[in-house]
Structure 1
Amino acid sequence: MELDPAKTAVLVVHMMRDIVTREGAFGQIFAEGVERQQVVPQVGRLLSTARAGGATPVYLRVVFKPGYPDLVANCPLLGMAAQMGALEDGKPGAEIVPELTPQDGEPVIDHQRLTGFFGTQLDVLLRARGITTVVACGVATNIAVEGTAREAVNLGYRTVIASDACSTASDQAHQATLETFQLLGEVASVEEISAALQAPSPQ
């Protein structure tokens, strides 16, 4: 695998307290997989390599205004957010987990649908920075990670899912998503991606 860090962004998908921690509103669904797959440290490792190599970290949050005037509850997961008082901007549950706090200047894209490109400035931001490759990681593999990755493919980006820096409610669903996405983009481990980001640029 070869990657040009200057043209690569790491999309950190929904690494929020309400989604990935046991005490979070969606913790009963996703936290066990996050812990078993060690997603937080794996995403942290990928971010460290990205920053050192000159790639661009971009964080995605699914977050709603207080009172949820911007929530369209047309699917069960989104409906659950309002029912549980989750993912509300300004509350602790909507924050990125402290282990992965964005550094100064790193963009955080907020959205209200299932994926990161829909209804946001993510595509504009990436193109303005000369990004042509995106690496997706986070939660959940078969929902927002896959959905955002598919959107990236449709928009013309070279798209990679970091296989061991994401998880979902079941290992079976996780693996099925990775197998499907191999037909659409690329699937690689954190080790493989990190090695590519650290490799000297070809002369």
Structure 2
Amino acid sequence: MTANELQFDPTRTALVNVHWQRDIVTAEGAFAPFFAEAVQRHGVIDSTRSLVQAAREAGVPVIWARAAFRPGYPELIMNTGLSHAIKDLNALVEGSRGAQIIEELTPLDTEPVVSHPGTSAFPDTPLDAILRRLGVETVLFTGVATNITVEGTARDAVNLGYHAVIVSDACAAATDAGHDATLETFSLLGQTATVEEIRAALQGVAAQPVGSAS
């Protein structure tokens, strides 16, 4: 996709940033063996920071999604390997340093932060209500992991009637193959775009509506 294929109205667009938490994306985090190397190698924190700043300057609402659990994990459904890993690693406990969003991407006081227990930020959270109250039609997604909660949230957004765009260089996964597979298949449901393509669209350079096939 090139920049002139992407266009959206900033007043009807939101940026949702998924799981930019210490336990997930830093070298000190509980999930460091899975994600930290790819996050660093691809520079996705800096890319996301650039996009967040551009969204704020354009008046695009910025929303944050985080995984957080009470001690003992009473809300965690133990039906997946990921769920067992979270509990075994004692990760993402509410109030812990590991559950915090990293300093580089600190939310503003005015930016909503939703917490969720599953692999999508929509179920059992106010995310959909927030987006609808803001009149949002297009949702841009960044985060980790591309092929787990970023994809899960983006797919739910599509099912709820939003135009969904995964920002390809503001996401990372445990493997590049997993990241690339999500980007390839998601083009059938929504769109993928780079940070620079999104920035150009925010500046009014684009010429084609979001929602068209790429």
Structure 1 residue matching 2:94: 3-state secondary structure:
coil
Tell me the residue number matched to 1:123: 128
Q: How does 1:130-141 map to 2 (within 5 A)?
A: 130-141=135-146
Partners of 1:60 and 1:110 within 8 A in 2: yes
Whole-angstrom distance in 1 between the partners of 2:90 and 2:123: 23
Q: How does 1:50-129 map to 2 (within 5 A)?
A: 50-129=55-134
Q: Give the root-mean-square deviation of aligned CA atoms.
A: 1.3
Q: How does 1:188-199 map to 2 (within 5 A)?
A: 188-199=193-204
Partners of 1:9 and 1:135 within 8 A in 2: yes
Whole-angstrom distance in 2 between the partners of 1:57 and 1:79: 31
Whole-angstrom distance in 2 between the partners of 1:177 and 1:157: 18
- State, as a whole percentage, how many aligned pairs show the same letter: 51
Structure 1 range deviating more: 180-189 or 72-81 = 72-81
Partners of 2:200 and 2:206 within 8 A in 1: no
Q: Which runs of 5+ in 2 are unaligned?
A: 1-5, 208-214
Q: How does 1:113-192 map to 2 (within 5 A)?
A: 113-192=118-197
Structure 2 residue matching 1:28: 3-state secondary structure:
helix
1:111-131 Cα distance to aligned partner (Å, 9 max, x none): 001110112111011001111
Structure 1 range deviating more: 5-14 or 75-84 = 75-84
Report deviation, 1:135: 0.3
One-letter amino acid of the structure 1 residue matched with residue 119 of structure 2 = L
Pair 1:12-2:7 in alignment: no
Report deviation, 1:200: 7.6
Partners of 1:4 and 1:201 within 8 A in 2: no
Whole-angstrom distance in 2 between the partners of 1:45 and 1:73: 36
Whole-angstrom distance in 2 between the partners of 1:167 and 1:183: 20
Query: Could you tell me the TM-score, scaled by structure 2's length?
Result: 0.92
Q: How does 1:14-53 map to 2 (within 5 A)?
A: 14-53=19-58
Whole-angstrom distance in 2 between the partners of 1:69 and 1:177: 30
Q: Which runs of 5+ in 1 are unaligned?
A: none
Partners of 1:49 and 1:198 within 8 A in 2: no
Whole-angstrom distance in 1 between the partners of 2:198 and 2:161: 20
Whole-angstrom distance in 2 between the partners of 1:201 and 1:172: 30
The ranges of structure 1 where at least 4 consecutive aligned residues each deviate by more than 6 angstroms after the TM superposition are none
Whole-angstrom distance in 1 between the partners of 2:185 and 2:206: 31
Whole-angstrom distance in 1 between the partners of 2:206 and 2:135: 17
Structure 2 residue matching 1:90: 3-state secondary structure:
coil
Partners of 1:61 and 1:108 within 8 A in 2: yes
Whole-angstrom distance in 2 between the partners of 1:72 and 1:41: 33
Structure 1 residue matching 2:121: 3-state secondary structure:
coil
One-letter amino acid of the structure 2 residue matched with residue 84 of structure 1 = L
Query: Could you tell me the TM-score, scaled by structure 1's length?
Result: 0.96
